[in-house]
Amino acid sequence: MKMAYRGPTMDQILSLCKRRGIIFQSSEIYNGIAGCFDYGPLGAEIKKNIKNAWWQDMVHRRENVVGLDCSVIMHPNVWKASGHVDGFSDPLVDCKVSKMRYRADQLYFAKVVVEGELIGYVSVLEGEQMQSIAENQAEDLKRKLSKRGALEDVILRPYTEASVEEYAQIPSPATGKPGSLTAPRAFNLMFHTHVGAIVDDSSLTYLRPETAQGMFVNFKNILNTYRLKLPFGIAQMGRSFRNEITPRNFTFRSREFEQMEMEFFIQDDADWKTWHRYWVDARFEWLKNIGLKEDLLGYDVHRPEKLAHYSRACTDITFHYPFGVQELEGIAARGNFDLKQHQNASGKNLEYFDEQRSRSYLPHVIEPAIGVDRLFLALLCSAYYEEIVDGETRSVLKFHPRIAPIKAAVLPLVKNRPELVELARSLHKKLSQKFYTQYDESGAIGRRYRRMDEIGTPYCITIDFRSLEDGTFTLRNRDSMEQKRFTESEISVFIEGCCE
């Protein structure tokens, strides 16, 4: 049964990001560049916190995982061996009139049939409402052609399944008229660049479309320099670039984005299904623990016919974004495909010597891979609440303290009492040595609480007249809005504990 969506709308998220300078369109003063985004001061903090949490839990808190940080530009043969040069493409369809371009697998069409007679076609772009939009279009067409009788079911299919004869009859979503859409063709998503002063085919290479290949090409370097025994993982986070045909849904599908990926190497005859299950469960738990709403999370187990030829299994962890249920993280069982490809192409032996079993082999791999920007958006959607408090709307981001950009705000009750201000400033200075705090003295205290709620600050520390007497401060909890008194050291230990 399809669950009704119970998160914020995209407009609410966009307006918050704009109002509080969390995310900007890249190069906005030049009208922006599609598929690229800039994270403002708060956004940069949240992003850093997401990456730190992942690194801490995937690398530091695991005995058998090490980190890696590879260059974005790699030898072009890496991408030939990995299959990206030949196969990393999406089906592209052009509208010859409007010059718009679409991904053929995201463009849907349907026959419009009235009592057995085919009267034309409709087309829609992929989206939650596409069925009802297509049905309305079919009704319009029937009315326009003055056809009588019952409209048959409108059955949507992706443009990739259209026949050659149908290409000319399917209307372009841009013009609403048929005759301008081309046949789909493969469009490689890698950004090209040239290395060195000479720009020709010999200097051609690519910006990496994923971080994963860095782990495979460094497999032997790491084996030779660390005393690792299978099973073990190599993890990396960093920028990836894909020239997406239709970047959309805000940061969800960008052209420049960040990934956090881990290659977990296992014995060639290990029970890969158990390891795959282990990582699917571990990643789901982690996503829940850092604040994703469980009722918005789900799974998409790829059907065998959808898998790449080398892939044994792939399960996506999905998230119900305001624009629909989409892949957030993929967990793939990739066999030994990548190591084998690089071994063959480079001529270097990439085998692992298993001392216990006295034999060498290419390990197999399980890969959990997630995009930082997609996770950021999912966290925003999970944390966003609007509540009525004392007859007013309170907008609040209920981030996990690990993710919250500012951990605590230090607020003197009033700003015209120098002794309160002095105490508050000195507390702020001390606490900011341990975690990110912000000092704020402007406006009524209630308004300051609301400003902090809106950006997800979990704690507000207020310095009042009693603080001058007994050295205690009130600590206000963002979610319950309860206030309790604590000493400075109690507050410090408490907040540090919550942010771990």
Binding site for ligand ATP (CB under 6 A): 210, 242, 244, 253-254, 257, 259, 327-330, 369-371, 373-374
Tell me the two tokens of residue 40.
Answer: 């403002």
Instruction: Pick between residue 52 and residue 243 the one whose CB is nearest to ligand ATP.
Output: 243
What single string gives the DSSP state of each residue in 210-276?
-SHHHHHHTHHHHHHHS---SSEEEEEEEEEE---SS-BTTTTB-SEEEEEEEEEEE-TTS-HHHHH
Minimum distance of ligand ATP from residue 329's CB (angstroms): 5
Instruction: Supply 38's token pair.
Output: 């800039």
Report the interhelical angle of 372-383 vs 41-55 (nearest 10°): 110
The owner of tokens 């400075």 is 488
Q: Is the dihedral of CA 154, 160, 164, 167 positive or negative?
A: positive
Residue with smaller CB distance to ligand ATP, 248 or 277: 248
CB 91 within 8 A of CB 183: no
Determine contact, residues 329/287, Cβ cutoff 8 Å.
yes
DSSP-assigned beta bridge partners for residue 397: 384
User: Whose Cβ is closer to ligand ATP: residue 105's or residue 488's?
Assistant: 105
Name the residue nearer to ligand ATP (CB basis): 275 or 321.
321
Residue 72 beta carbon to ligand ATP: minimum distance, rounded to whole angstroms: 15
Q: Closer to ligand ATP at the Cβ: 48 or 417?
A: 48
Taking residue 231's Cβ as centre, other Cβ atoms within 10 Å add up to 18
CB of 11 to ligand ATP, least distance (A): 21
| Strand-pair partners of 204 | 194
Could you tell me the smallest distance in angstroms from the CB atom of residue 325 to ligand ATP? Answer: 12
Among residues 244, 240, 239, the alpha carbon closest in space to that of 189 is found at 244
What's the closest the beta carbon of residue 105 comes to ligand ATP, in angstroms? 10
Is 456:398 a contact under the CB 8 Å cutoff?
yes
Q: Kindly tell me which of 263 and 329 has the beta carbon lying closer to ligand ATP.
A: 329
> Distance between CA 90 and CA 105 in Å, rounded?
8
Q: State the minimum distance, in angstroms, from the CB of residue 32 to ligand ATP.
A: 16
**Closest C-alpha among 219, 178, 208 to residue 365:** 219
- Report d(CA 141, CA 109) in Å as an integer: 14
CB 496, min distance to ligand ATP, A: 31
DSSP 176: S
- What is each CA distance from 183 to 17, 104, 107, 153, 175, in whole angstroms? 39, 9, 12, 26, 17
Residue nearest to ligand ATP (CB): 371
Beta bridge partners of 393: 388
Cα 228-229-235 angle, rounded to 5 deg: 55
**Least distance in Å: CB of 52 to ligand ATP?**
18
Closer residue to ligand ATP in complex, CB, 24/361: 24
* Closer residue to ligand ATP, CB minimum distance, 136 or 249: 249
Count CB neighbours of 71 within 10 A: 9
What's the closest the beta carbon of residue 15 comes to ligand ATP, in angstroms?
22
Nearer to ligand ATP, 37 or 109 (CB): 37
Distance CA 398, CA 311 (A): 38
Q: Which residues contact 493 (CB under 8 A, 6 or more apart)?
A: none
> Considering beta carbons, is residue 234 or 369 the nearer one to ligand ATP?
369
- Least distance CB 155 / ligand ATP (angstroms): 24
**Closer to ligand ATP by Cβ: residue 253 or 476:** 253
Least separation in angstroms between residue 76's CB and ligand ATP is 19
Q: Which is nearer to ligand ATP, 87 or 149 (CB)?
A: 87
Using an 8 Å Cβ cutoff, are 134 and 124 in contact?
Answer: yes
- Cα separation of 447 and 59, whole Å? 40
Q: 283-313 burial by CB neighbour count: b if 16+ within 10 A, else e?
A: bbebbeebbbbeebbeebeeeeeeeeeebbb
Q: How far is the CB of 127 from ligand ATP (least distance, A)?
A: 15
